Amino acid sequence: MTNRRSKVSDYEVLAEMLCELTRQCGIKEDFFARSFSLSPTEVRLLKLFAFSDIYTVKEIREKLKITPGRVTHIISTLEEKKLIRRLKDTTDRRSIKISLTPGASPFIRNLRRNYSRLHKDILKSISKEEMKKIYFSLGVLNDVFRKWI
């Protein structure tokens, strides 16, 4: 009986490992989002505000890689939860800007703190040397995929 590994290319093995990592990350994101009564995409949208105070709907759509209808639905849901608000763009009446509500700050701080805590807990068994290898490998993979896209 031949070893299955010998029939499968290294590329296929790596691709399957990436798919499995993606599935595991999806499970983690679902778990985390549910703990805040949010969807994973709502969490991803809220995490954008760590980098900027305001986004246009178009920028959100492009950053999250979601359809216009989906972004509108998510914005409406987060608006109902009083976490974000729509602002008219004074320079372009067709454009809508999105920002956090003043009352969202404590929620966002809690979200970020718990997100950080979750990852620290998941990665606590990783040595510093292994962590360096992971950083390097993920950097290479991100570069490869950016060039491919």
Cα→Cα distances 115→32, 36, 58, 118, Å: 7, 11, 26, 5
Fold of 38-111: Arc Repressor Mutant, subunit A (1.10.10)
What is the pLDDT at residue 71?
Answer: 95
pLDDT tens for each residue of 101-114: 998 988 888 888 99
What is the tens place of the pLDDT at every residue in 52-110? Answer: 999 999 999 999 999 999 999 999 999 999 999 999 888 888 889 999 999 898 888 88
Token pair of 81, please? 């939860």
Please give the structure tokens belonging to residue 137.
Answer: 């490998």
Q: In whole angstroms, give the CA distance from residue 55 to residue 100.
A: 10
Greater pLDDT, 4 or 109: 109
Entry pTM: 0.77
Domain spans, the chain: 7-36, 38-111
Q: What share of the chain is helix, strand, coil (3-state, %, to 5)?
A: 70, 10, 25
Kindly state the tokens that stand for 141: 């993979």
